[in-house]
Amino acid sequence: MKRMLLRIMCLSITALILLLSTACGASNGANENAEPTASADSSPTQATEPKTEQTTAPQTEEPRPMAVTYPISEIYDKLKLHGRTQLVSGGLACDFTASGIEFSVCAEGAVELKVQPTKDAYFTVWIDGVRQEQRFYAPVGSATLTLANFSDGQFHTVRVLKQTEAQFSLCLFQSLSFLGELGEKPAESDTYIEFIGDSILCGHGNLCLNGEQGQGTALYEDGTIAFAYLTSEALGADCSIVSCSGVGLDKGFTSFKATDFYPMQSYYRNSAIVYDFSRTPDLVVINLGTNDQTKGSAKAAVMEGVTCLIGMVREKYGRVNIVWTYNMMGDNNVIPWIREAIEALGGEGAGLYLCELNRDRQGGNGHPTEDGHLIAARKLRLFLQEKNLLT
């Protein structure tokens, strides 16, 4: 009996051990796929600091360099001058038809010219020898003309000339503004022509038809497309156009004669300052007589005017060739007198020539049109070639 009881107790203890062992195994089995925990000697996990976004002061762009303004007097030696010009207080006086400046510039952005006309004035601009379509306008007072905008870092040649005659508006070129540098002064042409004359050379009325309102104003006049400038441009010549609407050899629509107007630097600016005649032309072209015919000048007075004017030219320049053009507006009555005076001075043997141009009175106030001037320029060039006057 005691032996049986002892055997039952042993079996009970064995069953209890098995039960405990099974329970532990079940606990271990539940973590078979769990990540192993760090061993006691592993380094402790570092706590992660919360990320903070780095901030820097906002980047500001470098200020764009500003254009520099150069008074014309300070850059005078870099400018090629066109026509009769003079430095005066406040700038460069560019009063005459097709007077102005030319320069070489490497610029970033706008190239601007500040001008000061006494009345409305208009200008033509060429970039690298190419005439720009825009007609530049400056009202009385002060105006800034944007001549060009560049961005290629290259040097360009810029020419700006006044379309408007002195009688309509005197003008100062005051300053140039740009970001960059000026190049060397553009070279003068090997050929230089001086023109002396009246409204025809000024281009009076060549931008409108006869009878249009406002035809006798600067708005309808462009001397850079009149036959004088067109002839010079086609020949690659520099030129000076000393002309004035209404002037005559003896009588006209002005209070003075051509022989009063011609010797002065700029008669309408200051009638007492004499021009220096420092550059001798290869040829002088004169277009006068129309106003004398209109006003009824006498033969003797016209012939005296011809003789006096040619004498002035020869006194200043020596035996330069002179071509007298006529016929664009009709001056048939006085031309025989002009011819007689020229023959008396030696005619072609003395370097004095007469060149008949085409008649055209379809423009403003009965003046030649733009097309008429184109034809006249071609006729004059052919005449100069035929007479071999510029070789």
Mean pLDDT, residues 186-197: 98
Instruction: Locate 164 and state its tokens.
Output: 């408007």
State pLDDT tens for residues 78-118: 999 999 999 999 999 999 999 999 999 999 999 999 999 99
State pLDDT tens for residues 344-386: 999 999 999 999 999 999 999 999 999 999 999 999 999 999 9
Question: Does the structure show a pLDDT above 80 at 66?
Answer: yes
Question: Does the structure show a pLDDT above 70 at 161?
Answer: yes
pLDDT of residue 330: 86
pLDDT of residue 107: 97
- What string of H, E and C letters represents the secondary structure of 314-357? HHHHCCCEEEEEECCCCCCCCHHHHHHHHHHCCHHHHCEEEEEC
Mean pLDDT, residues 289-318: 97
pLDDT of residue 61: 64
Mean pLDDT, residues 244-251: 97
Largest CA distance in the chain: 183
Tally Cβ neighbours within 10 Å of residue 111.
25
Higher pLDDT, 15 or 121: 121
- Phi, psi torsion values for 113, nearest 5 degrees: -120, 125
State pLDDT tens for residues 162-173: 999 999 999 999
Question: Does the structure show a pLDDT above 60 at 46?
Answer: no
The pTM (predicted TM-score) of the whole model is 0.83
Q: In whole angstroms, give the CA distance from residue 377 to residue 28.
A: 115
Question: Please, what is the average pLDDT of the chain?
Answer: 88
